[in-house]
Amino acid sequence: MTLTDPEMTRFIMSVDDAVRLVIESAVLAQPGDVLITKMDAIRIADLAEVMVRSYAPVCGRQPGDLEIKVIGPKPGEKLYEELMNEEETRRSVELERYFVVRPALSPPGEKQAHYEGAVNQRVECPYNSANIPPLSQSEIAAFLKHNGLIEGH
């Protein structure tokens, strides 16, 4: 198995969470809003190790038989996934399960949007996978099992 960088992080979400985002976006969002789901982050190296441990026996192998080879990042590849940058934090609101990024330009005379159940009216930190503590390998395995992506062992 090849791995570009062991420190690379990404967000992870289930299909159920993706469907919930689409449905709740239609209800919660104001015109021009972007809703960003709060998600768990994972280190890609941890995901690779969990996958090797889970699938090696399925292939008649021992996990130690399979090598994870670091090949280095590809041109343009980022170490983390960024869903909200520093500039966007200034026009964002935090809800329980989402961040709402308001449009950069609002029509003249448009009043401030109100969001039921807002946790914070001001977001201080960009939302990227490097700013979120990553799941442990056991938590990644539990997530994958719960969502039917690997069999329980």
For 54-101, write each residue's pLDDT tens digit: 988 888 888 888 889 999 999 999 999 999 999 999 999 999 999 999
CATH code that applies to domain 2-146: 3.40.50.720
Tally of CB atoms within 10 A around 120? 11
Domain parsing of the chain, residue ranges: 2-146
pLDDT at residue 115 in the model: 85
Q: What is the pTM of this model?
A: 0.85
Query: 94: burial class by Cβ within 10 Å (0-12, 13-18, 19+)?
Result: buried
* Contact yes or no for 43/137 (Cβ under 8 A): no
